[in-house]
A and B are shown apart, each in its own frame.
Chain A
Amino acid sequence: MSEQSGAVYFEQIDVGDEIGPLTKKPTLEQVEAFCRAYGLEEKSRFTDLETAKSEGVDQLIIPGIMSMAYLSQLITDWAPNITLKKLDIIFRAPVKHEEAIQCVGVVTDKEVREGENCIDVDVYIENPEGRRAVTGQALVVAPLE
């Protein structure tokens, strides 16, 4: 296989390797664009503070799917030659607007399963207070060198 720029190969990956951080600071404009993408154009807890408060949320938060998108981006930005097979996450706390959050991955296992070079990665989104607002696991397949 010819080497791709930024490529990573199965042999090069070790348990404990860190991926990222991918830093994000979601703005109202970005959240509005994201909500438009799925047809949510009316006021919601994601874009309107009064609506958020009426639903028991004291600050504007981002949609859970947007957190999923960030963690997916963390993995796909890691290298152009890897394949994301599964991303499984739990929402533990809201991610708020204008918070500088860090998306991070840590390799926890690597082994060949059913002929595929599988990499297990713990992923999380950490807020400025150091709390892991979103946590989960990714399964990634990496080619051999």
Chain B
Amino acid sequence: MTQQDELLFNKSVLDEEYNLGNFEVTGEMIRDFNEGTGSGDGSEAPALIATLFANFEGPDDLNLDFEGFDYMAGQYLEPGTSVRAGDVLTCVARVKSVYKKTGRSGPMAFVVREHTFTNQHGETVARVGMSTIRRK
């Protein structure tokens, strides 16, 4: 796999924080999460649930000039305090890097993002890093 020619995107977004928004965690969401994974019960969820809000696409002005479908390449989680139904999580994200590689299936664009989630009390719920591959 080799690094290829430069990928076109808005470089001014690199390392700049952007607000991904506020997300209310509902009891229904926790129930669906637990049903889906076959883990846990009740109104409390692991900090992992914050990863559901981590986003494949931001920021709006990334302007990545590469068409295709996005897939997860990697992810990390640093869990903080647990999450309860009714909590409102605020997410601040940043794009750490954007690069292009060519593999057996052709060219791919990689985007690495970091997200930090805090709850309404200002406590850190999770730091989530996400690498995505866009390929045709």
Contact = CB atoms under 8 A, between A and B. Distances in A.
A97 to B, nearest CB: 12
A86 B36 contact: no
B48 interface: yes
A76 B46 CA distance: 10
Contact of B52 (A31, A37, A70, A87): A37
Nearest to B35: A33
Nearest to B30: A37
Interface string A40-74: 00000000000000011000000111101110110
Contact of A37 (B36, B46, B79): B36
Task: Determine the main DSSP class of A at the interface with B.
Answer: helix
Contacts of A38: 29, 52-53
Interface in B65-87: 69, 71-79
A131 interface: no
Nearest to A76: B46
Nearest to A64: B72
Given A33-B35, A34-B32, A70-B37, A88 B48 contact: no
Given A66-B37, A70-B37, 18 more contacts: A24-B38, A30-B35, A30-B38, A38-B53, A65-B54, A68-B51, A69-B33, A69-B37, A69-B48, A76-B46, A84-B79, A85-B78, A86-B78, A88-B74, A89-B74, A90-B73, A91-B72, A91-B73
